[in-house]
Structure 1
Amino acid sequence: LRRVSEVLGSNPLKTWPCEDYFSVFSCERIRSGLVPLSEVYIPHDETVCCPGSYQDAKGHCQSPCPIGRYGQDCLLNCSCVNALGTCNSEDGSCDCNEGWTGRDCDKRCPPGYYGKNCRESTLSCMNGGTNDPFTGICLCPVTHQGVHCEEACTSQSCTVDCHRCSQSATLVCDAEITVCRCKAGWQGYYCTEPCETGFKGTYCSDECCSKNGIHIAESDTCKCNDGYHGDDCEEKCEAGKYGPNCGLTCDCDDCDHVTGACVECPAGFTGERWVNDDKKHMLWNN
């Protein structure tokens, strides 16, 4: 056996596929801290493959890890969000799309930086101008223009320079009235801002996720919370199903659509969720 804390190392707990080894109820206790990781063990063969490799049926180490996995023996899940492809199979690092940063590529570039993984320094903008997180150029308010937004407009308002429309989030720039037409999921004068929480679509005018999920701007889709499904996460899991994408099956006739806790336990069982998992390696049965 091997401690899960050794498998994780410095990686966040969310990258470990707990449900591959234990019941959902047990995993909830582990993630909440009720059970210390130092007390959680998983089966482990004597053969250890290098990070980025896994053991095949013949006991040989093969690389790279299957898509979506990384680490020693490929035991951890990638957690990239706005990234180019999957994560690095050895250390789980993500190659972020332009305008995004963070371990999981889930943070917008901070002021002063832009581009892939936010490694490039931006121009200095004046008069309320802001940097495009994708290209770094100054996006000027309607009252100013110029490379640094240093020049006041001579007419009532400035026209939009089509080349300043965000290349990653603009559908087309209207040549007649020089307006950036944003792709679904994006908004702003230059299409640089993702829709606010709870909205999606063209002009961010459609409500989404029914407050039961989060909006992914890159794909203009909703990622549902556990226990919900549907394009807008408006539907609870059907009877007998629960959890992420409603992909887990209840261990009893009637269970909670989010956690899988049984509404009524079968005869001889008690607790939030009765334990009857031959493949699991924890025996918690309150």
Structure 2
Amino acid sequence: MAVSCRILFCALMCTVCVFKICLTKELSTSTGEACKEWNPTDNGCSECKAGYFGPNCLPCRYPNYGKGCQMFCNCEMENCSYITGCCSVGYFGLKCELPCRYPNYGNGCQSECLCVQQLCDHINGCKECPPGFVGESCQQNCSYPRYGENCQLECKCREEQCDFVTGCKAGRKENCISTEDEKRGSNAMISTAIVLTLIAIIQFTFYVYFSMFYKPRLLYITKF
């Protein structure tokens, strides 16, 4: 009976030892990436990497992050990385490795694109349409006589000669001018008209003055 108890006790102690060794091995393996310095004597981590804490180097709990989980996130939980804190513009996730999901973009993925997914950048939002195209999905051509970037330029040629991207085709480009050129031309014409009007007013004023003061004197001198 005594021998049986000893055998049972030894078997139980061996089982405990094996379990402890396996558990220690499992913990050291699971915390290997997070542990900066492993202490085999205490079977635990003496210093964790940034974003982890405790003897088993568990990830920081929101809103804490960083070395020793001593810093705090000032953003939503899904945008708070337990390693680096609040994510960069256009990203989210525990490690800030995920780009914002369409239609969201920007800081904390809080802004929303009002364009199709192909034109939505997860950092800056909707991209500009290429020259000659407009609309939410940039699939609409500029309408004649408009062409170019944002359809801001205007063709000065017939419709069949006007390309909605580049303007008047070869041999006609000299007739294509932008709306800015038109404005400058109109302003120049207005300025010229004003100058000519002022000259005419000055000439008329001199004529009236001469007629009123000098002509009677000439007539008086002629009589004598």
TM-score interval for Structure 1 and Structure 2 normalised by the shorter chain:
0.3 to 0.5
The structure that is helix-richer by fraction is 2
Larger radius of gyration: 2
Higher relative contact order (CA 8 A, sep 6+): 1
TM-score, length-normalised on structure 2? 0.34
TM-score of the two chains, using structure 1 as the length reference: 0.28
